[in-house]
């Protein structure tokens, strides 16, 4: 896993709402991808791609 440095060390951590939305997106998937889009050190978009496995 890669360590990411903050753009501005004086910035506060991610807002609780953003953390909760990311966690919710992860927990709602059985298989898939959660992408977090960041601009200027702020999360601006969360994308969820769900896949269905066929046997």
Q: Which residue from 1, 13, 2 is spatially nearest to 43, judged by alpha carbons?
A: 13
Sign of CA dihedral 15, 17, 18, 23: positive
pLDDT per residue, tens digit, the chain (55 aa), is 666 555 555 556 789 999 999 999 999 999 999 999 999 999 999 999 999 888 8
CA distances from 7 to 21, 27, 41, 55 (A): 22, 28, 6, 44
- pTM here is 0.68
């Amino acid at each position: 896993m890669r360590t990411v440095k903050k753009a501005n060390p004086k910035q506060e951590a991610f807002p609780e709402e953003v953390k909760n939305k990311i966690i919710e997106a992860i927990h709602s998937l059985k298989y898939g991808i959660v992408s977090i889009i960041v601009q200027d050190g702020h999360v601006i978009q969360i994308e969820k791609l769900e896949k269905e496995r066929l046997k």
